Structure 1
Amino acid sequence: MVFVLNARSEKFRDNDRVLTVPIFHEVRLLAVIGATLLLYNPRDVGQSHFYGVGRIADVVPARDHPRSLDILFDFVEKFSKPLILQEMNRLIEAKPRPFYSYSNIVWTLPERAYGLAMERLPNTSFVGLEEDTQDPFQGETHKMRLARIRSALVRNQTIRLLGRACLFCGAQWTDLTGRLFETEIVHIVPLENDGPDSVRNTVPACRRCHFYIDNGVLGLDDYGLILFARPDRELQEPPWRQRIDLSQSQIVPRLEFIRWHRKNIFGKGATKAKYRVELQAAYQFG
């Protein structure tokens, strides 16, 4: 199976490394992060044709358009000559399909279409790409695939709600395409402790603060005040924020998650305590 991306060539920017699309394509695009796709121009721009290949590095909220996504590419390689859709279908002996299936943001073709597409790449670009398969997607169970998509979706929702900067020190580092190199999503109750993969259990943080939170160096009180388990100079100096606004209860971590972290991890380090066990006990004893 070969993935095909509906991507009008004139819509690319930043040296063919970024493509902005509407947000309603998010789930379908998150499912193919890491895949090398054939790039397809639909028929409303001349003849329908394939014009290159590209590997999706990530799919993140667009910086300047709240209802859009930026597809970030590791590379985009153009064909020396476009491959017309009808010619592709004839070469791979494809069965007729409904016209509307070509309008999906991502659709598929049989595996042999990939080899035909590689023949259209210039020789200088061809080296190595002929071996590029969809191995990361082979052997994935339905449960694994859903977990991967959900994790990326929670990350994007967290960034949309709380911003791209670290919630604790305000830092953020991006390249020219907008790819976030340092901003990560922290689970207040870690997943390995049975914490939920939900926007109510996540905040954006830089790599340093992520490490501090997971290992009990940083924490929060019930009012959003940032707590330091080690009062050394490195942690107390700016640009640390003093407080995080927890008044908007719909878009910040739940208090029960913050309290669990403060009780089990803050000042102690990583733990094997399970969140669900404590929650059940709390319900049991009122």
Structure 2
Amino acid sequence: MVKLVLLHKADSIYEDEPDRVYDFPRSYLKAVNEAVGDWIVYYEPVKAGPRGYFAVAKIAQVIPKPGAEGRFLALIAPGSYLPFDSDVPRLLNGRPLEQALTGPDGLPRSGGSVQLAVRRLPEAEFARIVNLGLPQDLEWQEQVRYDPVPAGMQEEALTFERPVLERLTRRPYRDVAFRRKVREAYDYRCAMSGLRLRNGGGRPEVQAAHIRPVERDGSDSVRNGLALSGTLHWMFDRGLISVADDCRTILVSHNKVPGDVAHRLLRSEGTLLPPQDPRNAPHPENLRWHREHVFGQVMPTDPAPWE
């Protein structure tokens, strides 16, 4: 097995869904086949400003792309995709993070290797990029974000460092990373009420909800998330509310949710508040899954918050 960098462009002719599938031509088939069962890093060049390395995932298998001669699909292992907490630029202090992109003088190369959409990535470089994008102490950063603690306690908490791959597969770490990205995407506002609530210490009360649960093959992509208040998160998970196929209109199970309750809790427009970056909007397939498998089909067994 081998680790790779996979180039992704949002406006490409290749139909990538980074948390599900990577579309590539035959010329990269050998390299991608070698990476089956191993981790990859996604990289996106942006002309207006360097986005750089932005996520990790694991390749589960490679198949021919149906109806597209000479094209193949790398299927992403369910639950493996994880966006970086902060995008990592290609250059650090003017030098590439990949040795393959570095000239004899230590400066960036130009030409062929830089343009490759699939590049092999040594273990040490993979670890370095992931550590920059998903810091070892991310859980600690979130814990003390609004409740600072003495420096001595922080030093004690950081004495134990988890290996990169252990962090990438550890659910508590992934939950923190997902929560930070989703809440930030919606500017800490509830996507259904439009409210931005903070407690006395300044901590945002909004939660990060998976549209399709991880245990049912959902991903930790921001596009599989919604920032919701605690009550609306409860209602969403229990199928009392959902989102229509226009990806905007909020659906309400009126036989289970009193009209006055829906009126008080939801935006007057009856539509989702969009994320700040349109690229983070909920994926239509995730919303479809929720409508078909959760909405109107789950009867809550615990008391409703408004009762």
TM-score, structure 1 length as denominator?
A: 0.47
For the pair shown, the structure with the greater C-alpha radius of gyration is: 1
TM-score, structure 2 length as denominator?
A: 0.44
